[in-house]
Amino acid sequence: MQTQKIFNTDLNPTRIVYGCMNLGNNRNRAELSENEMKLEAIKTINAALEEGITIFDHADIYGRGKSEEMFSEIWKEHSSLREKIILQSKCGIRFSGDTTPDAPHRFDFSYEHITKSVDGILKRLKTDYLDILLLHRPDPLVEPEEVAKAFDEVHKRGKVKYFGVSNHTGYQIELLKKFIDQTLVVNQLELNLIHSDLINTGVITNQRKPGEFIRGEGTLEYCRLNNIIIQAWSPLALGVFEKNNSEFGKNLEAVISEIAKNRNTSNEAVVTAWLLKHPAKIQPVIGTRKPERIKAICQADSIELTRNEWYKLFIAGRGEDLP
């Protein structure tokens, strides 16, 4: 699988990231035992490794920590794997009831929470360090000085090598950059064919269209200008387009299927290749637990869509022609 350097680091991971959110997550699958989930997690990770994937994404809230714990089981099977892969995790989201019964769901970029979260992540992953730590969702009460203090501590102690953010706008990143000494190297954002706002805003700027909801204007361009790699979460939109029986859904799937057929590849590969084609060097973060689907998605690594194919998909995903 092709690799792609993360700017301002010594990291050169594969273009496709495996997202570990669903490992150990028994939501709607209560019939699975702890051991069955563990075996499933190992099988899933091995499937990603077999496809050549070298970067794995976590967050402390995934499975309420269970996903990181499940991932750590892989060390028993591959004792020398740690130095061959890149591990990243995220912190900053706190559930309701944490740590008092009346506490609401909230975001927390305080020094105490960041440093405590890193220790918890390392313990669950059974590793001494993270390659990248991301701040999960913007905290409206952020004190950038506290973030700077936390980053300095975990970096100097060798717990985190590099840093990034998730779901942040350009100006939110600028605010952090004013205070921290470390370079922010990744911004993880939702981006796919039917949630293409980051790309679409650059197309519909200055268009009069009542009801058009603009989100993240300039964020993609900001990241490109500042050598921040965009990682696209939910790159297949959880397969929504496959289950959408509306006229829009049927049309989108028809366009995807036609390109897949012409290229003798999977629909999943075409959707993923659409992201890989973008010059921002976007890294899709995939999350399926099915080995056959991981294999189907990774076919995208050998596909280079034409401009015509890319625009056909873009227009179908928009649900209307370009201005």
pTM of structure = 0.95
What domains appear along the chain, each with residue ranges and CATH number? 17-318 (3.20.20.100)
Catalytic residues: 62
Instruction: Say how far apart CA 39 and CA 58 lie, in whole Å.
Output: 18
What is the end-to-end Cα distance of the chain in Å, rounded? Answer: 37
What 72-75 contacts at long range (C-beta under 8 Å, 24+ apart), as own/partner pairs, is 72/124, 72/125, 72/126, 72/127, 73/38, 73/41, 73/42, 74/41, 74/42, 74/45, 74/46, 75/126
Instruction: Say how far apart CA 165 and CA 179 lie, in whole Å.
Output: 15
> How many CA atoms lie less than 13 Å away from 28 in the CB half-sphere?
1
DSSP 8-state secondary structure symbol assigned to residue 265: S
Instruction: Say how far apart CA 154 and CA 139 lie, in whole Å.
Output: 20
Question: Could you list the pLDDT tens digit for every one of the 323 residues in the chain?
Answer: 999 999 999 999 999 999 999 998 766 666 778 888 899 999 999 999 999 999 999 999 999 999 999 999 999 999 999 999 999 999 999 999 988 999 999 999 999 999 999 999 999 999 999 999 999 999 999 999 999 999 999 999 999 999 999 999 999 999 999 999 999 999 999 999 999 989 988 887 766 665 565 566 789 999 999 999 999 999 999 777 677 778 998 999 999 999 999 999 999 999 999 999 999 999 999 999 999 999 999 999 999 999 999 999 999 999 999 98
